[in-house]
Structures are given as C-alpha cells and as structure tokens.
Structure 1
Amino acid sequence: MANQPKKTNTRSSSRKKPVQKRRARKPAKGSTFKKSFLIVLGVLLMISMVIFGYFLGQQDRMNGHRTFTQSHKSDSTESPKKLLEELSKIKTEKPREKQEIAVRKALKTERNTSEKPLPQKEMNEENVVTKEERPKIRSIQKTITSDTIEQPKLVIIIDDVTTRSQLKSIQATGIKLTPSIFPPSQRSMTSHKLAEGLEHYMIHLPMESGTAQFNQQTKTLMTNFSKEEIEARVKEIRTLFPTARYINNHTGSVFTDNYAAMRTLYKTLRKEGFLFVDSRTIASTKVPMIVEDFGDAYVARDVFIDNIHTVPYIHLQLQKAVKMAKKKGYAIAIGHPHQTTMKALSSAAVIFNDVKLIYLDELYR
C-alpha cells in the first residue's frame, strides 16, 4: 500500500490550465486607447504647426511690404535708383505688371519732390540708352509729337516778282507772303535791288522748259551748260543777292527732269549756301532723288493757286492747300502777283482759320 502512487485530482488540474490561457489572450483596453489618442493628437499638432507657419510667412511678407511703403513715404529724398533696389528686394506675389506700376508711381512721387540734381556724371549714366530701348523711345517720341502737334502751317510763295509795285501789292495784303524775285532780266535789270532790306524773300531762277518761248529769258539755265557755266551762274546769283538763302525754279520742267544737270546745280547751290525748293513743274522731277543722295530734306510746292484767274478758283485752291497742311503738318502753295490773286488772298481770312501762315524761312527753322 505504501508503494502505490498517490491519486491525483485530474479534474482540478484540467480546470486550471484553460483559465491560465484565457487570461494571457485578453487585450488591455486602456493601453490601446491611449496609443490611439497620442497618434491623433500628434497628427493634429503637426497640422496646426503647418497652418501656423503658413500664416506667419504671409504676415512677414505683408510687414515687409508695409515697412517699405512707410519708409518711402517718410524719406522722399531717396534717389530713384535706390527705390528700385529696395523694391527688388521685396518678394511679393504681385504680377510683374503691378510691380512696374508701383515703380512708376514711386518715381513720379520722387520727381515731384525738391530733390537735389544729380552730378553730371550720374546724369549721363542714368541717361544711357541700350539698343533694345531705342525703338521704344522713338515710339514714345512719335506719340508725344502726334499728341502735341502744333497748328498746321501754310507757306504761300508769290513767284515772278519783278517790280516795286508788285512787291508793294504783296505787302499790302497784310498776311505773310514770301516773294520770289526774278534775277535781273529784260523785264527789269534792277530787280535784285527789291531784296534790299527785305527779311523774307527768295530767288525765282529761270531754268530750261519744254516750251521754247520760256527759254528766252536772260541767262536761263540750260541742260547743255557745262559744269563751269552752271557754277558761274550760281556765283553771280550769290553776288546779286548776298543775303538770300532760298531758290525755286521758274518753269524748268526739262532742267529738273535731267539728273546730271540738276545734280550739278544742286551741289553748287549747296556750296554757295542756297536751299532749293522744287516748284514741281513736272511730275518726273529728279530733285527728290538728288536731295536724298545728299541727305537733305525735300521741300516742294504742293498747290498752284492761280492757274485760273478768278477769286472762287483761287479760294478753292487755297482750301486744298489748307487740307494738305492739316494732313502732313505743313503745305507750300505758289501764286503770282496778279491783282486777282492779291484780291483772293486778302479775302481768304476764313479759309486760313485752321492754319498758321508763315514765311518760307520760318518753315525751315
């Protein structure tokens, strides 16, 4: 009996084992909730920091812009160049166009202040123009000129002046008329003396025409003249009219249409200090081409006003001249010392309301 093993309570042992296993598998509810809460809290904190950082950056930008504006208002004596440097340092989100507007406003305010002038060296540096900027400046200059254009100008030349009575009738109109005086000829051997004491006048030079009778006037320039003959004639004209500056052609349809002869004459006129005004007695005149070769401005007649000797016709031609002056800024009309022409000019005040009558030399100025 002593050697028999003790009986064990199998029921009690079997019941204890399942209880231990159930306790090991049971999750800790408090620990899981705490971990989830910390994770959510961390995420919310990160989002809050990002949002706060964004608004802080925006506030810094606004403060920077406000600081620049206040400093500009308080110190208006800063140079435009410094203002541009300050503005370029500010990192704004404005479009480039708005920044340029701000710059222009700043510079405009700067110009209105009592700023001391820059030294000459600085002024020269500020006015340096690059090749890229030159076309823009030309465009601006053109716009300014067109926006501030003066009243259209009208020049009226009276050709064929030979006598003192003709000159007096021109002066009696009371308007600015430029007499073009014939050199001495069979019409008057002392016509050059009419220019004595005159401030505004020019020379009416006879030149070869397609009509033979017009070529009979004394010392008419011909296309078959040599260079020496043309030069001698121009020098003689200079001696006769020492104060003259302007010459236009009498007839001359053949001469002005001859490139070689006209070029020789034009070059000689320039040498003697004369400016040539083309009467345009022929459409194929070579003067525009020659003038361009020398780099000069081409000045020519726009309208003949008295091909028909009636006041209504002359008024009609004057209206045409005024219209052309409005279109291009100036016009040149040519008439003659006829009584009808003087009468028409004296009664054309209404026609001249929209233009400024000037002498030829005022146009060149």
Structure 2
Amino acid sequence: MIRTASYAPHLGSALAAGFMLVAALAYNLGAKSSEAEARAVAAPVDLASRQLASSWPGVIRVEAAEGLDAAPERSAAEPSVLEPDPVAPMLLTSAATPRRPQLAVIIDDVGLDIGTARRLIALDAPVTLSILPYAEAASVIAREAAEAGREVFVHLPMEPVGVEDPGPHALTEVQSPSEMASRIDWAFSRVPGAVGFNNHMGSRLTSDRRAMDAVFSASGLPRSMIFVDSLTHPRSQAASAALSAGLTAMTRDVFLDHVPDEASVSVQLNQALALALQNGQAIAIGHPRPETLAVLADLSRRADAVGVELVTISALGAAQSQAADS
C-alpha cells in the first residue's frame, strides 16, 4: 500500500535525507559481518533506494515492506489467525509537520527487573518507559525515571484473545464501568507522574468498541492524558475511542522486537527511521530485552545520521495539538 507523506521537504532535502538513510542502514553491514544480517539489512537499503527514486518533487512515497507492521504483538497463547488489515495503521489525530522528522520510542513491560529499568533510564535517548502497574518496583522506577527527566507511561493490562494472563487488575469485557474506573485509578496510583498510557496485551478488549468506550468514559483521567494504541489487534478500536473521549490518541507504527534477535531489531529500527522520514513522525514500541537494549544503545547516533529527531511521546502529542489548532 502507498502512503503519501505529510512531511514533504523540497527535492534537495528529500534526496539528502534519503542518502543519509542509506548510509545509516549500510552501517549494519559493517558493524556485523554475518551473512544472515547482511541479508536482513539489504531489504531496507533497497527500500530506501526506491524511496529516492519515487520522490518527486520531494514527496516521499513508500510501499510497505513485507513484514512491516504485519504481526500484531501477541503471546504464544494468542492465536495466529489474527491477521492485519490491508490498510497500514495511521495516526488518528492530525499529523504534525515538524522541522525535522521525529521518532518516539516506547519501551513496554518495564518494572519486573529494576536493573534493566535503570539501564533504560540511563540511555542517551529520550525513550518513554511504560511501566507495568503490578510490578513490585513500579513506583520506585517511576520516581527514578522522573528524577532523571524520563517520560513515564502506565502499561495498562487489558484482556487478550486466548488464555494468556495479562496480570493482576487487568481490564476485561465483563467488568462494569465502576470496576474499570477503580482498576484504572489503581494502575495510575502505582505509577506516579505518568503522563499517558498504552495497552498491555488487550487484543480482545481493544477490538471491542463498546468495551473501549466504557474504558475511556469510566475513568476520571484528565483530558491531558495521552493514549497510545499498541495495536495488538489489527482491528483495534482503542485509539478511535480515546479520541472520541477527548484524549490525545496515537498509534504505534513499528514493533522493534517482535522477533527477539539483534539483527531483526536493527532492521525494525531502520524501518521506524524510514517511516519518520516518510511521514514526519513515527512511534516504535520495544521491550526490555537484552537484544533490544543492545540496539538502542546506538539509537541516538543512528537517528542523527539520517536527520531524525528523537522525542518523547508527549512532544509528539503537543505537536499534533498545535497542528490541529492551526
């Protein structure tokens, strides 16, 4: 499918950005010499070349690469029959036009390992930490992240398809609005300073519009809260329901580590950077796995190499609000 970029610099800027992207992608071949990674990285390089060839006059069009956003996040217990819609996920609020393309990275499932959380806090990049509210160290990590200037989200557990356990106090379809509100309030009390939230699992709940309307109407969350739909179900209604409730709502574009190995995470990061160049902004979601942290250690350098600015989710939300008001 073809998407027209909302970020459209003049031809010279587009060509320069494209050449920088190719150079950054080529870095993977030099950094890791294995034949397997060479094959993995070659595809994004070819994709970037096709971007340049089809850009005129400075509007970048890109055909979705095979595998991009093709697999919704799910556990082994969630059935593989869930297939994505043929239409790629789009931001549901008005896209901003920043001076530079912007990429925001969320790391989910934070809190179960406090050492890993501290490594994320220490990264030289403005990643957003989405903390599981039932994690024993949730409040401690949230406070340490805030002291370090890191943005914090609640990783709100929701009912999945299948028998996988989303954890204590998860939201489910059978709950009353008052029960939902109580569980949401509890989750935010566990993660002080959170400026937004995204769904943990939730493939069943987020695909039910009635249930999602109940979620967003049940809680007393301030309208300043940001919701990011993790898109664990290809027909998720979550972002649309959040928008209808008056929240700033966005959707993720890329899962970084659906396949948990460094070469795959590196390729997915390249795709996130390419989407930021194409659309002006993008959201990537990853998890606190060793392979993901190894790739994120080089995140700032790789983003700078292609002219992409790393920002927080709230910065993207503010830019969207400004665009909507203008």
TM-score by length of 2: 0.61
Contact 1:238/1:272, CA 8 A, preserved across alignment: no
1:277 and 1:300 in contact (8 A); partners too: yes
- CA positional deviation for 1:339: 1.1
Q: Which has the higher strand share?
A: 2
After alignment, is 231-240 or 309-318 more displaced? Answer: 231-240
Aligned to 1:363: 316
Q: Which residue of 2 aligns with 1:255?
A: 205
Q: Give a deviation string over 1:144-168, Cα, whole Å, max 9, x none.
A: x96xx51111001110011321211
Are 2:282 and 1:334 aligned?
A: no
User: Is 1:346–2:293 an aligned residue pair?
Assistant: no
Shift in Å at residue 173 of structure 1? 2.8
Contact kept in structure 1, 2:153 and 2:194, CA below 8 Å: yes
Give the one of 191, 202, 209 matched to 2:138: 191
Partner of 2:104: 155
Residue of structure 2 in register with 1:323 after alignment: 274
Deviation at 1:334, TM superposition (A): 0.4
Q: Deviations over 1:210-256 (max 9, x none)?
A: 131234x1111111111110011122223333421201000101000
- Look up the match of 1:282: 233
Q: Please state how far the C-alpha of 1:316 moved relative to its aligned partner.
A: 0.8
Q: Judging changes above 3 Å, is the alpha-carbon distance between structure 1 residues 256 and 195 closer, same or farther for their aligned structure 2 residues? A: same
Unaligned runs of 5+ in 2: 1-95, 319-326
1:219 maps to a residue whose letter is: H
- Deviation of 1:292 after TM superposition, in Å, equals 4.4
Q: Distance in 1 between matches of 2:243 and 2:300?
A: 36
Matches within 5 A, 1:124-273: 149-162=98-111, 163-184=113-134, 188-197=135-144, 198=146, 199=149, 200-215=151-166, 217-269=167-219, 271-273=221-223
Determine the C-alpha separation between the residues in 2 that align with 1:182 and 1:315: 25
Equivalent-residue separation in structure 2 for 1:348 and 1:177 (angstroms):
10
Q: Say if 1:158 and 1:178, in contact at 8 Å, map to a contact too.
A: yes
Q: Identify, as 1 or 2, the structure richer in helix.
A: 1
SS in 1 for 2:199: strand
| Deviations, residues 68-101 of structure 1 (Å, cap 9, x unaligned) | xxxxxxxxxxxxxxxxxxxxxxxxxxxxxxxxxx
Deviations 1:161-183 (A, max 9, x none): 11321211113332221111000
Q: Distance in 1 between matches of 2:265 and 2:162?
A: 25
Whole-angstrom distance in 1 between the partners of 2:207 and 2:261: 31
Q: SS at 2:236's partner residue?
A: coil
CA distance in 1, matches of 2:206, 2:235: 8
Question: Would you say the 8 A contact 1:305–1:317 is kept in 2?
Answer: yes
| Aligned residues: CA RMSD | 2.1
Question: Higher RCO, 1 or 2 (CA under 8 Å, sep at least 6)?
Answer: 2
Distance 1:251 1:201, change over 3 A: same
Q: Equivalents in 2 of 1:323, 1:255: separation in Å?
A: 31
> Equivalents in 2 of 1:191, 1:349: separation in Å?
26
Gaps of 5+ in 1: 1-144
Distance 1:166 1:335 in 2: 13
Match of 1:55 in 2: none
Deviations 1:323-350 (A, max 9, x none): 1111221100000111111111113455
Letter paired with 1:252 = G
Deviation at 1:351, TM superposition (A): 3.1
- Relative to structure 1, the CA distance from residue 270 to residue 280 in structure 2 (aligned partners, 3 Å threshold; closer, same or farther) is farther
User: Which residue identity does 2:104 align to in structure 1?
Assistant: V
Among all aligned residue pairs of Structure 1 and Structure 2, give the percentage whose two residues are the same amino acid. Answer: 28
Query: Residues 329 and 223 from structure 1, CA distance in 2 versus in 1: closer, same or farther, beyond 3 angstroms?
Result: same
8 Å CA contact retained: 1:234, 1:272:
no
Pair 1:268–1:241, CA change in 2 (3 A) = farther
TM-score, length-scaled by structure 1 = 0.55
2:109 maps to amino acid = D
Q: Secondary structure at the match of 2:165?
A: helix
